[in-house]
Amino acid sequence: MWTAVGSLAAWLWLLLGQGFFWRTDLRLPPRGEPESWPSVCVVVPARDEAAVLSESLPSLLAQEYPGRAEIFLVDDGSSDGTGELARELGRRHGGLPLTVGSPGEPPAGWTGKLWAVRHGIGLARARGPEYLLLTDADIAHAPDSLRELVASAVTGDFDLVSQMARLRVESVWERLVVPAFVYFFAQLYPFRWIAVKGSRTAAAAGGCVLLRATAAERARIPDAIGQAVIDDVAMARAVKGSGGRIWLGLAERVDSVRPYPRLHDLWRMVSRSAYAQLRHNPLVLAGTVAGLAVVYLVPPVALVVGLVTGAHLAAAAGGLAWLVMAGTYLPMLRYYRQPLALAPLLPFTALMYLFMTVDSAVQHYRGRGAAWKGRTYARPDAAPGP
């Protein structure tokens, strides 16, 4: 009974005291037309992205931006012809100028993506841009995406404006796991706290980050975060820690086209960085597992066991906690246009995330660490493996 009551108390606190993380109405901040449109360079790190590039790169080439803009796609050692495809798409679609470069293999102390970003920023600096748009190769942008991002940054005087791209939700497993992924992220990093000056909360969504060039230099981006596996959060912390103003919200017309049709694909997406999120600390892992169990698993268990054994107070507390949990999940399901009947299944999804987190730690101690696109980062200070 007391465990159920504790879970209910936790949910009441999450409902009211965690920055209203469950609300999904935080979109791009109010913006107006700048007197003059600043120059922008778009940096796209890409490793083995031929399968999605035909959907994403044309959307960048077709940006309707009133100022000067240019795209730098960095082919990070791809084996599937990503660079050649990018050049072909540039010739076929026209639009913004496109440069395709390659940085070679990353040295020790760098993740492959950030080494590619460093190379792209280096190419861009020759153009003297006022802003950098860092976007992943699987992200498709509406034609006015860049315009709206820049207008928001200039109007609000933000050094970093980031949008959480709407991930693909088509397969059964995507419907079950993806909305919860964004829900849990917002719970860890309440978006409303991120923009508050002086708050310690800092995060960004790596698929879509508009960064002021002077803020990048002041925060030493990406050199200061070269070995970060969770590079978007590390970048936001570096920018905010150096005095910059940052903003993060949900996107309306910035979408990921990367499919995750199988549970295995989603499992890898989460487990590759879950233990890094916990700073590779066994005590933090134990606390996280316990917290997930008490907050997400106790409510349905208390309800069922309470009803079976006649422990009515435990059943009532568990049922009410489960109801609050499901209620806070409804806005995210609406945002992803998913059936609201999925809300009561959040404890099951949380259990999967618990196993993914434990698996991430197991892989770390087996020496496999965070693996992605053929590279492995076994320890925070490890060099990328073959």
Q: Strands across the sheet with 160-166, in order?
A: 98-101, 69-75, 40-46, 131-135, 208-212, 160-166, 246-256, 139-141
Would you call the peptide bond into 299 cis, given omega within 30 degrees of 0 as the criterion?
Answer: no
Residue length of the chain: 386
Predicted pLDDT of residue 295: 98
Q: Is the dihedral of CA 137, 142, 144, 149 positive or negative?
A: negative
Q: What is the chain's Cα-based Rg?
A: 21
Q: Could you tell me the two tokens for 262?
A: 């199988």
Amino acid type, 108: A
Strands 370-372 and 375-377: antiparallel
Q: Rounded to whole angstroms, how far apart are CA atoms 377 and 372? A: 9
Q: What is the pLDDT of residues 325-351, one digit of tens each?
A: 999 999 999 999 999 999 999 999 999
50 touches 78 (CB < 8 A): yes
Amino acid type, 200: R
Predicted pLDDT of residue 368: 63
Q: Rounded to whole angstroms, how far apart are CA atoms 352 and 339? A: 20
Which residues pair with residue 45 across a beta bridge?
74
Which residue positions in the chain have pLDDT lower than 50? 379-386
43 touches 146 (CB < 8 A): no
What does the H/E/C string look like for the chain? CHHHHHHHHHHHHHHHHCCCCCCCCCCCCCCCCCCCCCCEEEEEEECCCHHHHHHHHHHHHCCCCCCCEEEEEEECCCCCCHHHHHHHHHHHHCCCCEEEECCCCCCCCCCHHHHHHHHHHHHHHCCCCCEEEEECCCEEECCCHHHHHHHHHHHHCCCEEEEEEECCCCCHHHHHHHHHHHHHHHHHCCHHHHCCCCCCCCCCCCCEEEEEHHHHHHCCCCHHHCCCCCHHHHHHHHHHHCCCCEEEEEEEEEEECCCCCCHHHHHHHHHHHHHHHCCCCHHHHHHHHHHHHHHHHHHHHHHHHHHHHCCHHHHHHHHHHHHHHHHHHHHHHHHCCCCHHHHHHHHHHHHHHHHHHHHHHHHHHCCCCEEECCEEECCCCCCCCC
Q: Rounded to whole angstroms, how far apart are CA atoms 215 and 133? A: 13
Q: What is the pLDDT of residues 211-268, one digit of tens each?
A: 999 999 999 999 999 989 899 999 999 999 999 999 999 999 999 999 999 999 999 9
Q: Which domains does the chain have, with CATH numbers?
A: 1-19+265-363 (no CATH), 40-259 (3.90.550.10)
Q: Characterize 204-222 residue by residue with b for buried, 16 or more Cβ atoms within 10 angstroms of its Cβ, and e for exposed.
A: bbbbbbbbbbebbeebebb
Q: Rounded to whole angstroms, how far apart are CA atoms 208 and 247? A: 12
Predicted pLDDT of residue 54: 97
Predicted pLDDT of residue 109: 83
